[in-house]
Amino acid sequence: MEEKSWWDRFRRTEAFAGYTLISPTALYALLLLVAPLATILAYSFLTDGDSVTRLVWEFTFDNYITTWTQPIYRAVMMRSLSVSMMVTAVTVILAFPVAYYVSFHVAPDRKSLWLFLITIPFWTSYLIRVFLWKVILGYNGVINSGLTSLGLIDEPLTFILYNVNSIVLTLAHAYAPFAILPIFVALEKIDRSLLEAGQDLGESRIMTFWRVTLPLAMPGVVAAVLIVLIPTIGDYVTPQLIGGGKIPMIANLIQSQMLDQDNRPLGSALAVSAMLIVTVVALAFVLLNARFLRVKK
């Protein structure tokens, strides 16, 4: 009997077929995600050098100590968190009625058209969409010139651009479809007879929404919150363009450390710290909502 090597046997297993199928993606992820992340992690424990040496291969915790003790970094991190939480709150609260309307009030054969329309903003790049808000909100922008020509204001309003509110507005618009879609899916899954049952058992429409629809839509809401919160904490473009660089968020700070200041170890420590904070916030949110996520059909 012919003795087969483990490789020959392995080649015939289902696992091998599976690995083969995922290998291009896995390789891609390894090269472009894991490797850079590992590099950043390594950098964050090294010492900054001068403009010639760049990096000194000396292990240190100094970068983390600076990150977590310097008030400026803490302030920017807190701003990133609060902006992204505001964006999340605004986005999800505005997205829910849209998703509800499409799920409950749009005729079934028109739903796909509505979803298609909702995704239209994705047809242009994120950068252009953000820039368009600058055109709308700017000193000589659409709103100001419009109001001036109507004679409603004498001087352009300055409070509508280059502040936190305009950042929140821009990000909320950019992420709206990401919030609408998961909530829509959760609402679609609700058996309509449950809503009739709620009313049949004596509750008004509003109370039925509160006691039946909302709890059953929570998995979608939780997903929407995570999908909006996580990327907005690290958003770079909007604070740069809409905030005019005057209201940096954590990504802007990382960029400036990495490139402008040429302090890669500190920039890396900031990046790793930001990732940790996002992970903790996201996990805490999921745990808080665990009771909604247990619901099975």
The footprint of other proteins (CB under 8 A) covers 191, 193-194, 196-204, 211-212, 215-216, 292, 295-297
**φ, ψ for residue 129 (rounded to 5)?**
-65, -45
CB 263 within 8 A of CB 47: no
Report the residue number, 22 or 197, with the smaller CB distance to other proteins: 197
Phi-psi region of 138 (alpha: psi -120 to 50; beta: other; left: phi over 0): beta
Minimum Å gap between C-beta 216 and other proteins is 6
Report the residue number, 62 or 188, with the smaller CB distance to other proteins: 188
Report the residue number, 54 or 205, with the smaller CB distance to other proteins: 205
Report the residue number, 54 or 189, with the smaller CB distance to other proteins: 189
CB 184 within 8 A of CB 220: yes
Report the residue number, 216 or 258, with the smaller CB distance to other proteins: 216
Minimum Å gap between C-beta 44 and other proteins is 43
Minimum Å gap between C-beta 185 and other proteins is 16
Minimum Å gap between C-beta 291 and other proteins is 9
d(CA 83, CA 86): 5
CB atoms within 10 A of CB 7: 8
d(CA 141, CA 54): 43
Minimum Å gap between C-beta 215 and other proteins is 5
Phi-psi region of 50 (alpha: psi -120 to 50; beta: other; left: phi over 0): beta
